[in-house]
Amino acid sequence: MTQSPQSAQISYNTSLKQLENAADIIKLDPAAYELLRHPLRELHVTMPVKMDNGSTKIFHGFRVQHNDARGPNKGGIRFHPDETIDTVRALASWMTWKTSVMDIPLGGGKGGVICNPKNMSLGELERLSRAYIRQLGNFIGPQKDIPAPDVYTTPQIMAWIADEYSIMHGHNQFGVITGKPLALGGSAGRGDATARGGIYCVREAAETIDLNLAGARAAIQGYGNAGSYAHKLAVELLGMKVIAVSDSSGSIYNPDGFLYEALMAHKKKSGSVTGFPEAAAISDKELLELDVAVLFPAALDSVITKTNAPDIRAKIIAELANGPTTPEADTILYKKGVYIIPDLLCNAGGVTVSYFEMVQNAYGYYWEEKEVQQRLEKKMKTAFLAVQQKSKAYNVNNRLAAYIVAVERVAEAMKLRGWY
């Protein structure tokens, strides 16, 4: 599944529409609204990289800093052949809202390079990563903007970036990046943090609507890092049964559920979940419309739309992807009584543990995995409650409530700083 430029534009327009809706409800000052509609800063870079065959290839990339009123910008770096500046702008703004919803002292940033890492050697990826960070060297830093892994970037890429940045500054600066390997100051518990945070939210949502999850069915669209860990943790922590999963090659279904270890072993061997024994092939549309307790959209944006929303039968939608539900679909699902845990909250476990990594880097003392998980759980529950309270106070859906929480906090910081 690749993201087209058209899809990227939809994401950006969606992010602006969601901000507008929240601003209208809280009667946000016009100057504050105009500030929040645009990134504070953007950097466009061009990078020559020596390829293995001796040629030089020119790559283009971006870094967007949306708003740092509450603290340094934070957000991932994406390596994707269809990357666009509009995608990066939208995701940078969503990072502002995520960090605000979670009440961590950071703003929103995002970066991207137009490339296809699947067609590049490790050496080429290393040279590209180092070239990118050399261009960004004066634009980012532990007190300015702290990147992290995102689509098609890895802890190894973060390690190269941290090393190059350290070389540029003449001393170790591992705190410039998060999502690093443990040996270079990474945090325990970062690998499954996005999924784990989402699972904690699902547990809270089920209690809110009095839904028993033990033995209940789940479907996962997107079996990457977040989706695969969601499978593992939905079974381990909630006692659920995952009956359908998908990846970029297709979707599979088994009413008796899938064993996580067996499915992961198959995917590692074959490269896809498709072709798994004792599984029926289904369409992505069928997966989204299965009769399940929880649907985890964990792939791309705008997959739940006004077209398929009337046919969604899940009781809870836990958005591990960014922007999987369009505003029109939101309205339909809210009226149907589907409980949506919005992306700003549901998938914020990753940035929260990245923040924990920053804290550990800053004072050179590292927590055990259990402590990271306990701190994450507390943060997720607190944020969930804040969103719930706004939803009731304004009689709005959870996404709008999450935006209200986030926008109010950022607007307050901007006002106290004298920005408007």
Cα 102 to Cα 53, 297, 326, distances in angstroms: 46, 21, 22
| Superfamily of the domain at 189-420 | NAD(P)-binding Rossmann-like Domain (3.40.50.720)
Q: What integer pLDDT is reported at residue 17 of this predicted model?
A: 86
Residue 118 is a catalytic residue? no
Task: Answer yes or no: is pLDDT of 5 > 50.
Answer: no
Per-residue pLDDT for 9 more than 80?
Answer: no
Asked if the model's pLDDT at residue 11 lies above 80, the reply is no
Distances (CA, A) of 252 to 143, 272, 323: 45, 10, 23
Q: What mean pLDDT comes out for the span 273-299?
A: 95
* Chain segment 87-116, per-residue pLDDT in tens: 899 899 999 999 999 999 999 999 999 999
- CA-based angle 250:256:262, to the nearest 5? 60
pLDDT in tens, 158-168: 999 999 999 99
State the CATH class of domain 43-177.
alpha beta
Q: Environment class of residue 141 by beta-carbon count within 10 Å: exposed (0-12), middle (13-18) or buried (19+)?
A: middle
**Alpha-carbon gap, residue 162 to 180, rounded angstroms:** 8
Domain 43-177 and domain 189-420 have a common topology: yes
pLDDT for 7 equals 46
Residue 103 φ/ψ region, left for φ over 0, alpha for ψ in the -120 to 50 degree band, beta for the rest: left
**What pLDDT sits at residue 2?**
41
Q: What is the mean pLDDT of residues 117-127?
A: 97
Note the pTM of the prediction, 2 decimals: 0.92
Domain spans in the chain, listed from the N-terminal domain onward: 43-177, 189-420
Q: How far is residue 230's CA from residue 254's CA, in Å, rounded to a whole number?
A: 17
Indicate which residue of 74, 98, 110, 232 is catalytic.
Answer: 110
Regarding beta strands 250-253 and 280-282, do their DSSP bridges make them parallel or antiparallel, or are they unpaired? antiparallel
- Angstrom CA distances, 178 to 42, 129, 141, 146, stand at 21, 15, 11, 7
- Residue (of 70, 111, 134, 124) closest to 408 by Cα position: 70
